[in-house]
Amino acid sequence: MADGVRLEIDGAVAVVTLDRPEKLGALTPAMLAELERIADRIDQDRAVRVAVLTGQGPKAFCVGADIGCWSALEPLDMWRRWVRDGHRVFDRLARLRQPLIAALNGVALGGGLELAATADLRIAEAHARLGLPECGIATVPGWGGTQRLARRAGSQTVRRLVLTGDLVTADEALGLGLVDRVCPTGEGLAEALALAHRIAARAPIATQLAKQLVNAAEGEESRDATLEAIAGALAGSTADGREGIAAFRDRRTPHFQDQ
């Protein structure tokens, strides 16, 4: 474990744990940096087919940004680093090649719910509570609550959470589309791992391509970049693609065969 985040890899499944239960998983700059490092490692590991993100302990997945870290910042420093760093890290998680499952082992509030929104699938334990309480302390969601979460769960749901500060139960969150499944308290990680292994047994390249296409459809990733990446992979996998590279290396005229 480093800086309140723990990574464990078991075969095709990686588990990332926010290991700061005494602070209910509240995120610090060091934790953001570690999450980014872990995301890079997972993305580059071809043996990993699915990742699971969860919290430590029975109380909280994550209650968002550690108020002690950001409340003393000057507004321009919030702009220069805190908000921008969080967006960069959350974008990195949302755009992992591999599917990401969030196991909500307790409350997911503010930035914690925004972090959960980076996952492709969310499983909530029955006692979990979800919400966006930021306006109650005179600030606003800053890490995708009004944007990514609105794309994932719908703008009307997010509008209610932001404007009222309501905390919703796991069952209500399921009905609102904030989570995909509710399980008994204490079984969130086991449920997520079972789902992860089920996904990991499927064709990994097709699964990753499908995830990228869905991301592009909802605006999570650039449609142009997605189209060009897939087209480039297709062209490079052809006999003509291999011939083109070979001819370049051999300094000869290529002989293409339309295959």
Task: Give the residue numbers marked as catalytic.
Answer: 114, 134
Closest to 179 measured CA to CA, from 111, 126, 110: 126
| Two structure tokens written together for 27 | 């995120």
Residue 52 buriedness (CB in 10 A; 0-12 / 13-18 / 19+): buried
Q: Hey, what amino acid is at 11? A: G
Taking the C-alpha atoms of residue 95 and residue 135, their distance in angstroms, rounded to an integer, is: 28
Q: Hey, what amino acid is at 234? A: L
Q: Which residues contact 28 (CB under 8 A, 6 or more apart)?
A: 3, 4, 20, 66, 69
